[in-house]
Amino acid sequence: MPGFLLQRAGQALITILGVATLIFFVQRLTGDPTYLLVPETATRADIDALRHALGFDRPLFIQYLDFLADLARFDLGQSVVQRVPVTTIIASRLPYTLMLAAGALTVACGMGVPIGILLAVFRDRAVAKIAAGFVLAAQSMPTFWSGILMIMVFSVLLGWLPPSSTGDIWNLVMPSFALGLLSMATFARITRSALLDELSKDYARTARSRGARMPRLLLRHIARNASIPLITVAALEISNLLAGAVIVETVFAWPGLGQVTVQAILARDFMIVQGVVLMGAFVTVALNLLSDVLYSVVDPRILLDGAR
């Protein structure tokens, strides 16, 4: 077990190094990143002073090593506009994004998994076809459009839900649905295909032929095996939800990381954008690692194969 986990953790570290390198070089696509940080009205002297202060006039390799050293100390730099460490800004906004992601994941799993079961169990019946249509529609709907439609219907027309900002649980309802519907479609599709896969296997057929009814078959025999692809999807979807939050937070004026990123882009406060992207990537790598660990808990055979 430790060997398997160490190997996966090592791979995750290499990926994180790769991600940091990629972000560092993306920043330098236009040559000098100083221009990303200064207002359009800045004078030549201002630009030179900032370039020197941030060390952008040093050799590229030295800057790269410095960047990595800062990251290793969890130092994401300072916001040029607000003059506050980026980690402080992220820490103040992160709870809102996590709250939104949790709401969206609840919607995605809470609707997606039952719909997926429906699609697999009632395969060619009308109810499955209607559910399939719903899944396809959810998959094709831009989050910013569904968000706007929800505001129009539930806030403007019916007055049931608050249109934006935070407050109580009611403020979370519409953003969670807007963000969660797309992932719901993914959960439904994966649940369906995982169940169909398992239902066609010998052990499931044997259980059925011995008289096991569908609910018992699903719960006792299939659930554990079918949950493996779902764990992968959950890990991927959580990181997608964090990324999708950028748009949904803009629609609903939700004060999370997405909103702060968009504001930072408009204010040319590049350090915040970079910090949020790096954090998003690290969270994704960490979630993938976590899903690897969870696999081995759900299916010990994976552990044995990995350790070999």
Which chain residues interact with other proteins by CB under 8 A? 14-15, 18-19, 21-23, 26-27, 29-30, 33, 36, 136-137, 139-145, 148-149, 151-152, 156, 239-240, 242-244, 246-247, 250-251, 261-262, 265-266, 270, 273-274, 276-277, 280-281, 284-285, 288
Cβ atoms of 194 and 226 within 8 Å: the answer is yes
Number of helices (H), then strands (E), belonging to the chain: the values are 14, 0
Minimum distance between the CB of residue 103 and other proteins, rounded to whole angstroms? 18
Cβ atoms of 284 and 246 within 8 Å: the answer is no
Nearest to other proteins of 134, 207 (CB atom):
134
Minimum distance between the CB of residue 212 and other proteins, rounded to whole angstroms? 26
**Those residues with Cβ within 8 angstroms of residue 203's Cβ, 6 or more apart along the chain or in another chain:** 221
DSSP 3-state of 168:
coil
Nearest to other proteins of 109, 273 (CB atom):
273
Nearest to other proteins of 172, 241 (CB atom):
241
Minimum distance between the CB of residue 158 and other proteins, rounded to whole angstroms? 13
Nearest to other proteins of 254, 270 (CB atom):
270
Neighbours of 125 (CB within 10 A): 11
Nearest to other proteins of 149, 304 (CB atom):
149
Minimum distance between the CB of residue 76 and other proteins, rounded to whole angstroms? 13
Minimum distance between the CB of residue 239 and other proteins, rounded to whole angstroms? 5
Q: What tokens appear for 294 in the block?
A: 């969870």
Residue 237 is inside which H or E element, if any?
Answer: helix 223-252
CA-based nearest residue to 23, from 266, 286, 258, 277: 277
CA distances from 74 to 11, 67, 86, 261, 300 (A): 20, 10, 10, 19, 35
